[in-house]
Amino acid sequence: MRIAVVGGGPAGALFACFAFHYARQIGHSVSVSIFEPRDFSRAARPGCNMCAGLIPVHVLDEFADIGIFLPPRVIRSLISDYSLHMSAGTLDVAQPDKRASVVSVFRGNGPIQPPPEKPISLDAFLLGLAIARGAQLRPVPVRAIEVGHSPRLRTAGDEEERYDLIVLASGVNGPPLQVEGIPYRPPKTRIMAQTEIFMSPSAIQKLQGRVHIFLPSDSNLTFGTLVPKKNYVSISLLGNELPPGSISRFLAQPEVTAQLGVQSRAICACRPRISVSPADPLYGPGFVAVGDAGVTRLYKNGIGSALRTARAAARTAIFYGPSGEAFNRGYNPLCRAIIQDNRFGRFLFLFVHVLQHNSVLAHPHLMTVKWEQRQPPRRRRLSRLVWGMFTGSDSYRRLFAVAIDPRIQYHLLICLIADTWYGRDLHTVLMTKGRMEL
């Protein structure tokens, strides 16, 4: 089977790795060409794949299933705590268990100043691994692909090549790609604003191991995050409107300067698009879209979605062939599950938006999480919900089930009544004495 993979990011590189893995299992040969014009080993914009770069530890375990182990130089920080800043106060949430931890990485080779001491790019590492396992790198851009029983692609030099399967793994930030033969519509997207800040070892010490999430009530931001990466901090903003100067205004907010200091200076910036809906269609005869170019988890754990979709698509192609019927049986169920899970995610983030702008409702959540941090891990139900939403370490469906747990709702109702009728002092006394234990 001759396979062309358009895009050499995690989805494309992992598809190649899984294709070789499954082909060896059944004794078949496979030829994989990865079309990727960028060099991810370069620093700053030329090698950047524009991502916050957070990976749940359980995704690293799935990497290990096919012998992929990230070298220590690629993992920039281990995240074991989150701080959620709202108008009602700050939630400090510790990991509910070790598998819920996350690690931070750079997709490219980091900002240009100062230069990294070793290659640290996740994408370069995964692409190099795919090449080492047999893939051929074609550093030329693809201009168009034609889907059908004899799939073909055209490169920027107007060269045309035929393949048995074309895998679209180019994400949503590349140049437009013409798809012929099927009415392919790429995913809908939202714009983010991102930047990197270099900090001295002493200044960044208090940020190590903790991600900060900001939900300002007087802002158009959906959320803003600070992600530590050794000597750097990655800042990501998502909002309905992010006009020029959004990052500067965000950095000037008192709660942000309390973490970064007043001398924060951006050394690298970009405005990536993120996928917020599935492509349509996701597959056809001799064609399949994976990762952000196909379907991904809403807002969080895009690398985990790249792994899952690449694995399912490769397994289907190798075991059952590259036909549209095969992908309908072997790939479509996973895609439907991700789409359905994202519906629960949209509801959960809608409720977060309500809390962001309503301190009366937010305060009971704040106090409940603070109380839970003194309880055994099994009783930290609301803490697990907050952690899972902002790390991507659990499905939105399971998190929704936690959110509607009657024990949580009863606890929050008692907190709300105590706050409304008796004031926060009584509420604090009740929580301290443990009279609200469930």
The residue among 247, 274, 301 that closes a domain is: 274
**Within a domain: residue 238?**
yes
Length of the chain: 438
**Within a domain: residue 94?**
no
**Within a domain: residue 438?**
no
221 contacts: CB under 8 Å, gap ≥ 6: 214, 215, 237, 238, 239, 250
Same domain, 259 and 294: no
Among 97, 75, 31, smallest CA distance to 394 is for 97
pLDDT of 204? 83
Dump the DSSP string for 270-319.
E--EEE-S--BSSEETTEEE-GGGT---SSS-HHHHHHHHHHHHHHHHHH
Instruction: Give, to the nearest 10 degrees, the angle between helix 381-391 and helix 332-356.
Output: 110
3-class SS letters over 178-243: EEECCCCECCCEEEEEEEEEECCHHHHHHHCCEEEEEECCCCCEEEEEEEEECCEEEEEEEECCCC
The enclosing H or E element of 91 equals: strand 89-94
CB 370 within 8 A of CB 89: no
Same domain, 216 and 245: yes
257 contacts: CB under 8 Å, gap ≥ 6: 251, 264
**Within a domain: residue 219?**
yes
Same domain, 314 and 219: no
Peptide bond into 114 cis (omega under 30): yes
pLDDT of 428? 53
Same domain, 361 and 311: no
Please give the span between the terminal C-alpha atoms of the chain, in angstroms, as a whole number: 59
Among 269, 301, 372, 197, smallest CA distance to 50 is for 269
Strand order in the sheet with 77-79: 54-56, 102-104, 77-79
**Within a domain: residue 268?**
yes
Instruction: Name the burial class of residue 105, with classes exposed (0-12), middle (13-18) and buried (19+) by CB atoms within 10 angstroms of its CB.
Output: buried
Same domain, 10 and 49: yes
The residue among 338, 363, 380 that closes a domain is: 338
Same domain, 203 and 287: no
Domain CATH for 299:
3.50.50.60
Same domain, 61 and 200: no
Dump the DSSP string for 110-178.
--SSSPPSS--BHHHHHHHHHHHTTPEEE-S-EEEEE-SSS-EEEETT--EEE-SEEEE---SSS---E
The SS3 of residue 22 is: helix
pTM, rounded to two decimals: 0.92
Same domain, 66 and 213: no
- Angstrom distances, CA of residue 342 to CA of 254, 305, 306, 395: 33, 12, 15, 9
The residue among 338, 364, 379 that closes a domain is: 338
How far is Cα 292 from Cα 407, in angstroms, rounded to an integer? 37
pLDDT of 263? 64
Same domain, 391 and 315: no
**Within a domain: residue 139?**
yes
Same domain, 262 and 217: yes
**Within a domain: residue 242?**
yes
Same domain, 130 and 170: yes
How far is Cα 346 from Cα 240, in angstroms, rounded to an integer? 15
Total number of domains constituting the chain:
3
Positive or negative, the CA dihedral 28, 31, 34, 39 is positive
**Within a domain: residue 82?**
no
How far is Cα 198 from Cα 234, in angstroms, rounded to an integer? 9
Range of the domain at 414: 352-433
Among 356, 326, 425, smallest CA distance to 88 is for 356
Q: How far is CA 110 from the centre of its chain?
A: 18
Residue-level pLDDT, tens digit, the chain, 438 residues:
999 999 999 999 999 999 999 999 999 999 999 999 999 988 888 888 888 899 999 999 999 988 999 999 999 999 999 999 988 888 888 887 777 789 999 999 888 776 666 789 999 999 999 999 999 999 999 999 999 888 999 998 888 999 999 999 999 998 889 999 999 999 999 999 999 998 877 778 888 889 999 988 766 788 899 999 988 899 999 987 788 888 888 888 889 988 887 666 677 888 999 999 999 999 999 999 999 999 999 999 999 999 999 999 999 999 999 999 999 999 999 999 999 999 999 999 999 888 888 888 888 888 888 878 778 877 888 888 988 988 888 999 999 999 999 988 888 888 787 777 655 544 454 555 444 443
Domain CATH for 261:
3.30.70
The enclosing H or E element of 255 equals: helix 254-260
Same domain, 264 and 290: no
The token pair at 416 is: 């709300």
Among 250, 216, 220, smallest CA distance to 233 is for 250
103 contacts: CB under 8 Å, gap ≥ 6: 54, 55, 57, 60, 70, 75, 76, 77, 78, 79
Query: What values do phi and psi take at 97, rounded to 5?
Result: -160, 170
The SS3 of residue 81 is: strand
